[in-house]
Structures are given as C-alpha cells and as structure tokens.
C-alpha cells in the first residue's frame, strides 16, 4: 500500500457543489489496473482519474479515466478536472498557455483561457462515430425518454469515446421535462439538447443519461458537449461560440462554453477545487 496525493475538483461550475466532481489520484504509475478500477468503483463518482508519467515525449502527463464499471478512452470533465489538479500540484507545462494530455484517445490539448477567470478548455478529439441514427434506435430512445415523435427534431451519433447518441429536441422545456426509463435505455449513453428562449443567458439546455452509472444522469458532461457542438455547429443550428447549461434537474448549475476556432472545437468551463489530501492504495 502506498500513499498518493488526492484531489477532487468540481468542473463546469465556479462554486463548489454546482458542477460535476471528478476524483484525481496523482503519481499513479505504481498502481495496477485492478486497483484503479476498484478505487473508481469505491468513489462511485461518474469518473475517477489517475495521473501518470507520459509515454509520448510531447505530452505533459498521461491520464487514465475510469467510471465505476469501465475504463474510458476520453471524457471531458475528467480532462479539465485532472488538468486543474495537475497544475495545482505545482507541475510546469512545457507551454505556459497550453497543456498536452496523453490518454487512450490520443493527445488532447488543454488551454488556459485568458480573461476568463482561470477557465480551462479542451480541444475536442475526433469523433469516432458521427452520423444518422437508425429509426429503430430512435424509437427505443423515444420510448425510454417518454417523448412524442413531434418532440424530436433530429438525431445523430456524436461518439468521441464514451459512445454518445444525441437527440435534438424542440426546446429546453422538453429537455427539462424528461423522466427517463433506465431499463429501456440500457445499452445507450444518450444526450438530449434543446434551445432556451431568446434572451436567455445560455443557448441550449443539455442532459446526459447513462443508465448504468449512479443515478443514471450525469450532472455536466464535457465529452457530450464536444460531440453536440460539432454536430450543431456543422449543421448551422448554433453559432460558432455559445454557452450551454446542464445539471438543472439535479440541482446543479453547470455552464459549458463551446467555441469553434478554425478546425478546433474548444469546450471549457470553470474548475473549482473541493477536496485535497492523501489516499492509501
């Protein structure tokens, strides 16, 4: 058993308890896969991460990401939370303004956003699956979310690692009214998005349903926003820079900032330290 520095960061909120927490274990190179998986199951957070020495010479650090029941190749709020924890440990990035994270999905750039109060943003990795959803799958999703056919504007696969399938709904109110059936949704990680009324402080409301994890709904989900942003900007439904809200139905106040710059899609938000100490693993 060894002692490791431990952090818990609240992501996509500037006040503790209003975002999505991620656990971060530092200097985890000595830990086995089994130990990492067991600790992630024990924390019972949507994701637990482990910082390791990079194998790519251009990376600042390597990250492994676990849910309570599986390892992910990439996830958004763990990427930002782990970056904040790494910086708070007085680590020095090769570039003062941009970190490079190595993970199973490849190299992910993370920038410090000037004039944003210390906000971090990651460059969205390529989509692994992108395109239309079979009518049969849409029918299952509609039933599992309790939606009428007229509630759904469009559907697309926007998978960048976790497996997201997305539904664009007619408005934010429809998103907020969903009462999902976890049994029917088994086998899908599904995101839903709908526009807020004109004049709102955010463009869209988002919810993420992951039937096998925790309560079945993720509070604020960076990887989903990365996929949604690519899809909705590509199709002209949203501008190249916008703000999204998520977590409202769970009592959270997540704010996700999405911006397309050239070929890069940046997904960012606040990162708020919540817990620091030691863990014995």
Q: In whole angstroms, what is the distance from residue 247 CA to residue 235 CA? A: 25
Catalytic site residue from 3, 18, 34, 47: 47
Q: In whole angstroms, what is the distance from residue 87 CA to residue 98 CA? A: 11
- Name beta bridge partners: 107: 102
Nearest Cα to Cα of residue 222 among 174, 176, 274, 164: 164
Which residues, in sequence order, are CB contacts of 257 under 8 Å at separation 6+? 116, 119, 121, 241, 242, 243, 266, 267, 268, 269
Q: In whole angstroms, what is the distance from residue 254 CA to residue 18 CA? A: 6
Q: Map tokens 């997540």 to a residue.
A: 254
Q: Is 205 a catalytic residue?
A: no
Residue 160 vs residues 157, 174, 218, 227, 234: alpha-carbon distances, Å: 9, 25, 16, 7, 16
Active-site amino acid positions: 47
């Amino acid at each position: 058993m060894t002692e490791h520095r431990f952090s818990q960061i609240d992501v996509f909120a500037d006040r503790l308890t209003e975002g999505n927490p991620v656990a971060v274990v530092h200097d985890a190179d000595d830990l086995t896969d089994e130990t990492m998986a067991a600790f992630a199951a024990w924390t019972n957070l949507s994701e637990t991460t482990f910082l390791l020495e990079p194998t790519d010479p251009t990376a600042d650090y390597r990250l492994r990401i676990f849910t309570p029941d599986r390892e992910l190749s990439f996830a958004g709020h763990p990427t930002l939370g782990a970056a904040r924890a790494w910086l708070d440990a007085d680590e020095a990035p090769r570039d003062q303004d941009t970190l490079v994270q190595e993970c199973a999905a490849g190299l992910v750039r993370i920038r410090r956003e000037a004039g944003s109060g210390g906000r971090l943003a990651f460059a969205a990795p390529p989509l692994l699956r992108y395109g239309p959803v079979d009518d049969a799958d849409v029918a299952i999703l509609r039933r599992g979310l309790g939606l009428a056919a007229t509630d759904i504007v469009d559907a697309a696969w926007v998978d960048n690692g976790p497996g997201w399938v997305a539904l664009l709904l007619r408005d934010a109110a429809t998103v907020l009214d969903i009462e999902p059936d976890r049994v029917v949704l088994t086998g899908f990680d599904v995101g839903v998005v709908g526009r807020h009324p004109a004049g709102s402080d955010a463009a869209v409301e988002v919810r993420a349903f992951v039937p096998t994890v925790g309560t079945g709904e993720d509070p604020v989900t960076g990887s989903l926003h990365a996929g949604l942003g690519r899809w909705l900007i590509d199709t002209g439904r949203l501008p190249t820079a916008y703000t999204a809200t998520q977590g409202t139905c769970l009592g959270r106040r997540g704010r996700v900032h999405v911006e397309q710059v050239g070929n890069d899609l940046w997904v960012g938000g606040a990162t708020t330290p919540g817990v620091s100490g030691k863990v014995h693993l």
